[in-house]
Amino acid sequence: MPRPTAIEAALQFRQQLNSLEMASFRRMSRIYARLMLSVSDEVEKLAAEIADMEEPKRADILKLARMRRILRQVEIQAAGFVSIIENEVVFAQEDGIQLATQSALRLIEASLPPDMPDALKAQVIQSFTALDSDVIVNVAGLIGDDSPLRTKIESDFGEGVAGQVEQHLLDGIVRGQNPQVIARRLASNLETSMGSGLRWAMSTVRTAQIKSYQLANHATYQANSHIVPAWIWHSALDDRTCLSCISQHGTEHPITERLNDHHNGRCAPLPKAITYADLGLNVKERPVETVQGEQWFRQQPTATRRAMMGPAMYEAYKKGEFAFEDLSQPYDDEVYGELLRQASLKDLLGRRAKEFYAR
């Protein structure tokens, strides 16, 4: 049975990450659904009260005891959910690190030259240094007592959800409609505002898991610099992949750098294939071809390229107004530091972007 390539191995581990992620999402969804149900009945009663008011105004509605009770209940429930998020982040970090410790050696082995003799391959593998998971946890450090992620969860989530619920409930008032219509509108807006809180929680946990996996891989590569001379950026390369990640795909990086894709990213750092020369051997090498992101993009049908970029950006790209590598733009994240995201046409061309949007 032929051994998998590093790309095939990376895809297998990505699928395992997805499975762990879905289990986390199911747990949070069940708990969050109970949170929403706990205020649904009160919202229906609030709708009936509003329907009895002759000219309901925002200020008057905010004074209603039931409205204040709903908002307080949401605030308490959301604050309680913070601990759920923190627990899931801990699980996600542990899952990401554990999977990375399992995958690092397999990825390194899969990156060795396919024609390498078994004896030499065994010698390389025996020199591999496995890091203790506690060491990697300290490297990741996402959910420590004073970590930026814990601070963000505790400061943003509870107040954010309560604020959105208040705004959406007030926006859901339908003057002159009957109580059933008002109730449906309020329930719909409650679901929207509460749902955004769940999406934020899921995104937070997913990003923590992925970043833990990436950080653990990098720590292991650095501990094995004698057999991992560098790493290669690997993105999903599908129509859901952002142009920043596509532009980074196939680029080579020193092991002192970390892969810094955006939130909810799906990229992975693959170990660069070690060569016979790296091992001090004078053996003819079989060149390893790496598809670059722009090369992959140019191979896609015109309709796909246009859809991924958007008509204006695609026209500017065809005219050579910017380099493909410029599509990756750094930004500062309060939790993870510098990350990369897709540049907009305005980022690339400034005021001249209007010329292409007008066409």
Mean pLDDT taken over the chain: 82
The answer to whether residue 178 scores a pLDDT higher than 90 is: no
How far apart CA 76 and CA 162 sit, in angstroms, is 9
Q: Which of 57-71, 181-195, 319-333 has the lowest mean pLDDT?
A: 181-195
What is the pLDDT at residue 146? Answer: 65
Find, among 25, 45, 44, 31, the residue nearest to 78 by Cα: 31
Burial class (CB in 10 A: 0-12, 13-18, 19+), 55: exposed
**pLDDT tens digits for 92-102?**
888 888 888 77
What is the pLDDT at residue 152? Answer: 79
Beta bridge partners of 329: 341
Q: What's the rounded mean pLDDT across residues 210-222? A: 86
What is the pLDDT at residue 168? Answer: 67
**pLDDT tens digits for 307-317?**
999 999 999 99
What is the pLDDT at residue 11? Answer: 78
Q: What's the rounded mean pLDDT across residues 189-217? A: 81
159 confidence band (pLDDT: 50, 70, 90): low
What is the pLDDT at residue 2? Answer: 45
143 phi and psi angles, rounded to 5 deg: -130, 30
Beta bridge partners of 271: 231
The secondary structure of residue 132, as a DSSP letter, is P
pTM (predicted TM-score) = 0.80
